[in-house]
A and B are shown apart, each in its own frame.
Chain A
Amino acid sequence: DTEVTQTPKHLVMGMTNKKSLKCEQHMGHRAMYWYKQKAKKPPELMFVYSYEKLSINESVPSRFSPECPNSSLLNLHLHALQPEDSALYLCASSQAKGLALPPGTDTQYFGPGTRLTVL
């Protein structure tokens, strides 16, 4: 099973709302990622979790709050977003670094994304 799932598929929220995006994988990957993707642009890395600990935060505004409750689940909590935050939010997972892993284990597997619209 090489599937990463994301819910919801679409989300519309007002600037005062609080919502959460969810990502799940059952491939035994211990690294999970959040990306933001604007239309016709490449994905931009937001956060990386490794072994359920925040490893990378690419200077993302605090209105985005990630959470990794367990090795299979990754959440992105949203609060007081701005219209410019409207985008496709992609989750990905991969094997974690620091292990004697065979080639190919650095590959990221992506979910289908959540299309977020902030009004």
Chain B
Amino acid sequence: AQTVTQSQPEMSVQEAETVTLSCTYDTSESNYYLFWYKQPPSRQMILVIRQEAYKQQNATENRFSVNFQKAAKSFSLKISDSQLGDTAMYFCAFMFGTYKYIFGTGTRLKVLA
């Protein structure tokens, strides 16, 4: 069975600082995709960043970057220059096969002014 684990239920970071959210997963699949989604208090889920498992290069999107360690099955999200608008629940998600998306339990991030 595929599982996604986010071991940090809550985190906080000062504005302009850097924070890293951790995610580990377990799978026997060789071809899969990994995602970080953000769900602000307004509740709309938004894609932050995605990573194809066959790519060794870590994905980056502006202030967001990942550290993808395939052998360790680890997929952490680094947020640089944190902003108040980054306050949200962050879900790590894993997709394999056809349409099967599995979400981790989430990390609630609060950015402090």
Contacts and interface: CB of A to CB of B under 8 A. Distances in A.
Interface stretch (B70-78, B80-88, B91-99): B91-99
A108 B95 CA distance: 10
Contacts of A42: 91, 103-106
Interface in B39-53: 42-47, 50, 52
Contacts of A112: 42-44
A56 interface: yes
Interface residues of B, number: 23
A74 interface: no
Contacts of B47: 107-109
A5 B65 CA distance: 29
Interface residues of A, number: 27
Given A50-B99, A55-B98, 17 more contacts: A33-B101, A41-B106, A42-B104, A42-B105, A43-B103, A45-B101, A50-B98, A90-B45, A92-B45, A94-B99, A107-B35, A108-B47, A108-B101, A110-B37, A110-B44, A112-B42, A112-B44
B43 A88 contact: yes
Contacts of B95: 106
Nearest to A104: B50
Interface of A: 31, 33, 40-43, 45, 48, 50, 55-56, 88, 90, 92, 94, 97-98, 103-104, 106-113
B64 interface: no
| CB-based closest 5 A-B pairs | A42-B103, A110-B45, A48-B99, A112-B44, A97-B98
B105 to A, nearest CB: 6
B106 A40 contact: yes
Contacts of B52: 103
Given A42-B91, A90-B45, A112-B43, A106 B33 contact: yes
Instruction: Tell which of B43, B99, B101 has the most Cβ of chain A within 10 Å.
Output: B99
Given A42-B91, A106-B33, A111 B103 contact: no
Given A50-B98, A55-B98, A110 B105 contact: no
B100 A56 contact: yes
16 contacts: A40-B108, A42-B106, A43-B91, A45-B101, A48-B99, A55-B99, A88-B43, A92-B45, A97-B99, A103-B52, A107-B35, A107-B50, A110-B37, A110-B44, A110-B45, A111-B44
